Structure 1
Amino acid sequence: MGSEIIVIPAIFIGLPWLILHYLTRWKTAATLTTDDEKLIEDLYDLARRLEDRVITVERIVGADNPNWRALAADPLQSGLEDRNQESLRRIK
């Protein structure tokens, strides 16, 4: 009988109160303002323009050197970068 007095109010009062409490917290949470939406649109436009620029640069470099992707993928194999210990010792 003693535990029923605690369990019944907990189920019928405590649980709905807990659910309603977090529902109101969720509804009052910060949402995107018009300034935020404009900032997101501006950032998206900037990213799209930068992507277009990168594509243009890749097209130009590809016209000058068709094998540039292979060189960029492995600089050690291409001879553009020397990672041996002798060159590192000379730098120090």
Structure 2
Amino acid sequence: MDEIAGIMIVATLFIGLPWIILHYITKWKTAATITTDDEVLLEELYNLAKRLDERMDTVERLVASDNPDFERPKLLADRETDNQQLRELDRLLADKERTAR
């Protein structure tokens, strides 16, 4: 009985544990990659969001000029702090395009 328990422990340590670890490492590596189609989709979504942001700025300016009681939104297009993340994304996209060439 003790021999069977010893064999089970050794098999678990030297076969089962590495098998589980390697299994999840391969799952982690395959799940962490982003495909080129995903990158293209993200870039398209980013460009769409940027255009919509510009349109919202235009609409807010028009409404503010027509209605004096209009409250300006908390995020303003002209403030550097509000657009800092967009500029960082623009810089990253430009760097990516330069390295792709």
Q: Could you state the TM-score of these two structures normalised by the residue count of structure 2?
A: 0.57
CA distance in 1, matches of 2:38, 2:13: 41
Q: Radius of gyration: which is bigger?
A: 1
Q: Could you tell me which residue of structure 2 aligns to residue 57 of structure 1?
A: 59
Shift in Å, 1:5: 2.4
Q: Could you tell me which residue of structure 1 aligns to residue 20 of structure 2?
A: 18
CA-to-partner distance for each residue in 1:10-58, whole Å, 9 max, x for gaps? Answer: 1121101111122123333473222321221111011011011101111
Q: Could you state the TM-score of these two structures normalised by the residue count of structure 1?
A: 0.62
SS at match of 1:45: helix
Q: How does 1:61-80 map to 2 (within 5 A)?
A: 61-69=63-71
| Structure 2 unmatched ranges of 5 or more | 73-101
Shift in Å, 1:3: 2.5
Root-mean-square deviation (CA, aligned residues, Å) is 2.2
2:38 maps to which of 28, 36, 39:
36
The number of equivalent residue pairs is 70
Identity of matched residues, %? 57
Structure 1 stretches (4+) deviating beyond 6 angstroms? none
Higher relative contact order (Cα pairs below 8 Å, separated by 6+ residues): 2
